[in-house]
Structure 1
Amino acid sequence: MNRRSTSTRRRWLAACGSASVGIAGLSGCTGSDDSNDENGSSDPAGTGEEPDESGTEGVHNGSSGESWPMARFSANNGMVTDEWSGPDGPLEERWTVEIEDGEVSGPVVGHGFVYVADETSTLHAIDLTTGDVEWTYEPELPPETPPNPQWEPTTPAVTDDTVYFLTETLYALKPETGDVLWSVELGSLYSGDIRVYDGIVYVHNDGKLYAVDIEEQSIIWEERVNAVQDIAVGSDGSLYVSHKTNSGHDYEVVGFDVEKEEQIWAYSPSGNFDTGRELLVHDGTVYTHELDTVLAIDGETGEEATMAVYNKDDSESVVAGRAPTIANEIIYSAGVFDQPAVLTRELTTRQEPPTWDSNMPISGPTGRRIFVSKNSLYVWRGYGYVDLNVLNPETGEQRWSFDVRDHQDMVRGMVQGYAILVDSIIYSIDGNYSVIGALETA
């Protein structure tokens, strides 16, 4: 029997018409503006569409900016949209919610709710407008689970008709109530990742990779890969995985054809490289950072190419483990402390864009992935990554900033994740307690 609590107010304040994200697939949202479905999808079967990845259109397709479906926005970890810009600064708080049960995940947004998981394996659904906790879902854990379990929570995922939540089981929940639609047992309570695309939920969970068919509600593929760091999905459904090797001293990127149930290729650098943790798939190519190098790996062959090399004069260094973001034919990389917070190279020329001011005053360290909207670049920086800076994505000029520390009385704090919407910014932060916050234009 599942243990769950649901508030008396089960209001679905916003339809999912906004939850149509291209490469994310959203297992059903097609991005059609003329849909008659109340969820904003013309694909009630939940199989998703098959967009390409060329430019921003392939990463985001048709959302009105009221949803943030996955941990890194889309199944290819795209972190870019040309559909909206986000709220203008200066910002003020719309609401905050304190979560006392330890660490929380990053937020995802859909159906008028903010969804976050905590380390006690509880999922919280927060009203996007008011900040009221509308419902929580606390699954029954295995009998061998120790008292007061505490695990690093996995960021959930939300589609046009489902919220996906991970413990030792993948749960598919009804977004407006938290009722269980179906579930698939995976076998471990360790944290992982969830990506949803084209009718399939891709999961990594304690050294195992899974592809779960949404229609069949069952595992259709699984593979053991130890020490997984990140997963990303290509537009053809290929699954790309980065993981540690050689007792953590090296890393490897592997491409899988899930439909054929086979490994396509594996890339492993020569020498010891303790980076390459996060991945981005753009236009059929897998991008990562290998130390201070922007590396591009062909999604079909696994052949690698160097796109940029930083830190030649000790003045520009990339934050270890963060994948780049590609928008406007520019590669954006996160910089380290006391150096430029954002490093750029043109995708075609591999040179710094002529309009970019490399002497911009903002310095790192830059945390979380960079997000680029229609005309804004969002970067979280400083100790704990609590200082949000919004830049011009063409010039690097700062437009405005917001420091979470000015509004949260915490002994310490680190931003765990965020969501940029049309009229608000949602963030989660861990400190001596955890906070979910919503910001809007003052």
Structure 2
Amino acid sequence: MARKRASRRRFLAAVLGASTVGLSGCGSDGDATTTPGDAGTATPRDTPTDTPTASATPTDTAEPTDTAEPTDTAEQTATATPDASSFASWPTFMRNDERWGHHPDATGPQEEVSADWTKQFDQDAVNATPVLADGTLYIGAGGAGDDDGSFHALNPVTGETKWSKDVAAPVTSAAAIDRGFAYFGTTDGVFYALNTDDGSVFWEWDLGSTEDFTAPAVVDRGVYVGSSGSPIYKFDALDGGLEWNQSTYGSITAPPVYADGTVYATSADQELYAVSDSGDLQWTVDLGGSANGVAHRDRRLFVTSENNRLTQVNVRGSTGWQISRRDAFAATPAVTAQRVFAGTRGGTLFAFDVGDGRELWRVTEPSGGVTAAPVVADGTVYVGARDGSVYAVTAETGDLKWSFATSNNIEAAAPVVAGGRVYIGSQDGTLYALGE
């Protein structure tokens, strides 16, 4: 196992500058039935400690594959636009650790769009969701057909590469940006913390297996992440130590939620899990089908599952309402104060009332499944579909505003909306910046 640690100066600077990115919600009550880390299905090659020893190759010498200028595949058609530092921040999957997928201050395109710029990587697919923080766009690359992966920091205005980092396996989930570090995992069971200024490795953890990681939630010094091997992991954000793992009985494919001291995660074992930030299991809810995603807002959880259901559960584990449609709800839903937006494998995007689950509208334009999470900004719902197109519909009515065709499916990548653009990846291996 290779693990790297930052210099003492970097470590102390990070501690002194610590701040929390995620928006906290409210916690839950319940009886703990499992002790921390007692049933993990994958264990690291070495036992972690709170202060891991430095590797033979110090982090200071780690060299990312820098590309100071845009690659040949980046089209620089953007001109006079706001400075990127003023763009709305999406530092983690679906904007915050509660996975709202809603940003009330973001601005996006309302009329027909074209590609302001595109970026292609060495990998054949871009399945990861981009994130945006401090004027920089971060994106991982790689898919099922790729032997390796990469991670990139880009200028969101021009598409210019600030730095790139090659990794041994695809990066298929979003990163989380916190206190100058980018946290993300790869499909070969390696989890990274990179310095956002140059892409050098701050620390890394190798599970010694081929587990794939979800996007993480980073809160204080905790990094909470699910994996296809079934555990929920908590790492120390500053030294990379594994604090605990809570096993489920199925693959975790959707990013966990963190709200007020509790981690909520969905599993292919059909359960929604509530785990305290100390690793104690609080409660589980049987959803009747493989659970595909969860979002939290105002003490309510909204959960999608493979048995065609969207379920609202409160933070104590009691079901409020449940609706069923003809096809499976396939990804994390987006939630505003009034509405829940969720797509199905059959190619329909729905809007439901938060309070009672009543259907408000549906959009059937996609000719392929809506298996990626939608987001909401500027009165508009933006989502990609397996027909290769990105759609923008009015959040109030579901009326189609525009669509844009990429060259392959959009299977798992949610968009980011900021600075009048939509940023989204496609399985054609391209990251698109779409603007009016």
| Common topology (TM > 0.5) | yes
Matches within 5 A, 1:210-225: 210-215=233-238, 217-225=240-248
- 2:297 alignment partner, one of 275, 282, 304: 282
- 1:66 alignment partner, one of 53, 67, 88: 88
Matches within 5 A, 1:5-16: none
Does the 8 Å contact 2:389/2:410 carry over to 1? no
Cα deviation, residue 363, structure 1? 5.1
Counterparts in 2 of 1:308 and 1:88: CA distance versus 1, 3 Å: same
Task: Output the CA distance in 1 between the equivalents of 2:23 and 2:96.
Answer: 13
State the partner residue of 2:47: none
Deviations 1:335-355, CA, capped at 9 Å, x for gaps: 4547xx3323322344344xx
Counterpart of 1:437 in structure 2: which amino acid?
Y
Q: Are residue 423 (structure 1) and residue 420 (structure 2) matched?
A: yes
Counterpart of 2:320 in structure 1: which amino acid?
A
Q: Are residue 320 (structure 1) and residue 339 (structure 2) matched?
A: no
Counterparts in 2 of 1:84 and 1:49: CA distance versus 1, 3 Å: closer
State the partner residue of 2:177: 158
Does the 8 Å contact 1:367/1:379 carry over to 2? no
Matches within 5 A, 1:38-437: 44-48=17-21, 51-52=24-25, 65-104=87-126, 105-119=128-142, 120-138=148-166, 150-151=169-170, 153-167=172-186, 168-199=189-220, 200-205=222-227, 206-215=229-238, 217-225=240-248, 226-245=250-269, 251-259=270-278, 261-269=279-287, 273=289, 275-290=290-305, 291-300=307-316, 302-310=317-325, 317-335=326-344, 337=346, 341-353=348-360, 362=365, 365-381=369-385, 384-405=386-407, 412-417=408-413, 418-431=415-428, 434-437=429-432
Counterparts in 2 of 1:131 and 1:331: CA distance versus 1, 3 Å: closer
Identical-residue share of aligned pairs (%): 18
**How many residues end up aligned between the 2 structures?**
353
Q: Secondary structure at the match of 1:73?
A: coil
- 2:435 alignment partner, one of 422, 430, 440: 440
- Structure 2 unaligned residues grouped into runs of 5+: 3-15, 28-84, 143-147
Cα deviation, residue 174, structure 1? 1.8
Q: Secondary structure at the match of 1:229?
A: coil
Q: Secondary structure at the match of 1:278?
A: strand
Does the 8 Å contact 2:194/2:203 carry over to 1? yes
Task: Output the CA distance in 2 between the equivalents of 1:80 and 1:50.
Answer: 12
Counterparts in 2 of 1:86 and 1:436: CA distance versus 1, 3 Å: same
Note the aligned Cα RMSD (angstroms): 3.1
Task: Output the CA distance in 2 between the equivalents of 1:336 and 1:47.
Answer: 35
Point out which structure has higher relative CO (alpha carbons under 8 A, 6+ apart).
2
Counterpart of 1:46 in structure 2: which amino acid?
S
Deviations 1:228-266, CA, capped at 9 Å, x for gaps: 232422321311121123xxxxx111110122x310011
Task: Output the CA distance in 1 between the equivalents of 2:160 and 2:112.
Answer: 24
Counterpart of 1:375 in structure 2: which amino acid?
G
Cα deviation, residue 202, structure 1? 0.9
Task: Output the CA distance in 2 between the equivalents of 1:262 and 1:362.
Answer: 44
Task: Output the CA distance in 2 between the equivalents of 1:207 and 1:186.
Answer: 13
Cα deviation, residue 413, structure 1? 3.7
- Structure 1 unaligned residues grouped into runs of 5+: 3-42, 55-62, 140-148, 246-250, 311-316, 406-411
Q: Secondary structure at the match of 1:366?
A: coil
Does the 8 Å contact 2:135/2:156 carry over to 1? yes
Task: Output the CA distance in 1 between the equivalents of 2:233 and 2:297.
Answer: 22
Counterparts in 2 of 1:152 and 1:180: CA distance versus 1, 3 Å: closer
Task: Output the CA distance in 1 between the equivalents of 2:366 and 2:166.
Answer: 41
Does the 8 Å contact 1:115/1:125 carry over to 2? yes
Deviations 1:127-156, CA, capped at 9 Å, x for gaps: 2222233322235xxxxxxxxx65563332
Task: Output the CA distance in 2 between the equivalents of 1:429 and 1:184.
Answer: 28
Cα deviation, residue 82, structure 1? 1.4
Does the 8 Å contact 1:234/1:284 carry over to 2? no
